[in-house]
Amino acid sequence: MRPASDLLAAVIPARETWRRPERTCEDCGGTGWLYDTANGVLTGRCQCSQRPLEDRQKAAGIPVLERRARFDTVRPEVRELAGRLQRYLDATNARRGPGQSLLFSGPVGTGKTWLAACAANWALIRGWSVVWRKATQWLADLRASYDADSRTHELDVNRPLRRAKLVILNDLGAEKISPWVATQVEDLLDDRISAELPTIVTTNLSHEEIREAYGDRTASRLGPRFYRHVEFTGADIRGSR
């Protein structure tokens, strides 16, 4: 997929804000599927998957602003780029295999989150199980699960991200990076790759900066063997309206 151009400004709203995800379904964790943990198999669709789209967007954790992102509403000058991503998702829907995930990288405000949201909403409309997490909040939830008085286990935090057909991990690199953080990111990427499930990762970091921050192992997992790299360029357009 070719690098995104300044034309992405035509489809990005004035601000890309994140809000804490709504409470997810207690039965399926927001994945839309029921899972037999004892036998390690899916047992069927969860009742929540039949809910209206807005409810499913809330369960997936998609921020309010990004819930209106759609491929079919982009302006003519950016339809080619959006169309490439949509065709890519169509192909992913038809098959599984290495190389099906995407890494969106580039400066702040160049449209990475908005295009990822187009993909997330497209997938939800077609019945996919989708989970959207901002990296900082996912890691904060993991840390909180370790508290002695926490009623949430680490597995409860990670289970939706390991099961969903599509995961959007937004703004990787915005968190304070430590060896523990690098391990969590590496483990999640490994689980998604092993299950051959598509993931879209957005980041302001270049691939070399990812290597410096997270290490060779994580950089390798986000490399061309498993991820297509889409580089976004241009000025920050979030405050231009």
Domains contained in the chain, CATH given? 26-231 (3.40.50.300)
The pLDDT value recorded for residue 12 is: 35
Query: Is residue 203 very low, low, confident or very high in pLDDT (cuts 50, 70, 90)?
Result: very high
Question: What is the residue whose two structure tokens read 């909403």?
Answer: 121
Residue 170: the pLDDT is 97
Print burial letters for 177-195: b (CB count within 10 Å at least 16), e (below 16). Answer: beeebeebbbebbebbbee
Per-residue pLDDT at 224: 92
Closest CA to 214 of 172, 164, 177: 177
Within 95-206, residue ranges assigned H as helices are 112-125, 135-145, 154-163, 179-194
Residue 72 has pLDDT above 50, yes or no: yes
By DSSP bridging, strand 41-45 and strand 130-134 are unpaired
Which two tokens mark 205? 């970091």
pLDDT tens digits for range 145-198 = 888 887 788 888 999 999 899 999 999 999 989 999 999 999 999 999 999 899
Sign of CA dihedral 70, 76, 77, 82: positive
Q: For residue 238, which phi and psi values (nearest 5 degrees)?
A: -70, -30
- Give the global pTM: 0.75
**One-letter amino acid identity for 113?**
T
- Report pLDDT for 82: 81
pLDDT of residue 138: 94
- 208-231, pLDDT tens digit by residue? 999 999 999 999 999 999 999 988
- pLDDT of 77 reads 55
